[in-house]
Amino acid sequence: MKIAIGSDHAGFQYKEHIKAFLMERGETVRDCGTVSEVSVDYPPIMRQVALAVADGDCDRGIVLGGSGNGEAIVANRVKGIRCALCWSVETAKLAREHNNANMISMGQRLITLDTALDIVRTWLETPFEGGRHARRIQQIDQAG
């Protein structure tokens, strides 16, 4: 699987750990930035990750910030993106099962690194249930 990843300065440390975790799993990773903990504006980075997924260049995307809120908002402005803000394994599981989330957002200031890695693992390994949820995904896509 090819995964785009990006963060602002507040999510940089987790981005680096998650990137290494993904590569250890054998995933291909496209790092869209940032490259340090120096303050940056996050919207261009998150948009780049979302566009990589929406354009089909990457299968999924992960964005990180201090809370993950702004990052998810930016990603969800891109047509075809369903970015779920995740703060637990359960939210990641439901994001895949019910929402077929092709991106996740997390906040480095709000969860532990172990939780972040568990979220990523769960999100990657959980299939979309389809069924009644597929109809709802179509409605989401029509609304955008």
Q: Of 69, 61, 131, which is closest to residue 98 (Cα–Cα)? A: 131
The reply to whether 69 sits in an annotated binding site is yes
The reply to whether 68 sits in an annotated binding site is yes
The reply to whether 66 sits in an annotated binding site is yes
The reply to whether 61 sits in an annotated binding site is no
Q: How many CB atoms within 10 Å of residue 141?
A: 11
Q: Note if 133 is an active site residue.
A: no
Q: Note if 71 is an active site residue.
A: yes
The reply to whether 9 sits in an annotated binding site is yes
Q: Which of 16, 17, 97, 98 is catalytic?
A: 98
The reply to whether 102 sits in an annotated binding site is no
DSSP characters over 47-73: HHHHHHHHTTSSSEEEEEESSSHHHHH
The reply to whether 133 sits in an annotated binding site is no
Q: Return the structure tokens found at 27.
A: 């995933």
- CA dist., res. 141 & res. 122, Å (int): 24
Contact between residue 109 and residue 81 where contact means Cβ atoms under 8 Å apart:
no
Before 34, cis peptide (omega within 30)? Answer: yes
The reply to whether 80 sits in an annotated binding site is no
Binding residues: 8-9, 66-70, 99, 109, 132, 136
Binding residues for D-ribulose 5-phosphate: 8-9, 66-70, 99, 109, 132, 136
Q: List, by residue number, the catalytic residues.
A: 71, 98
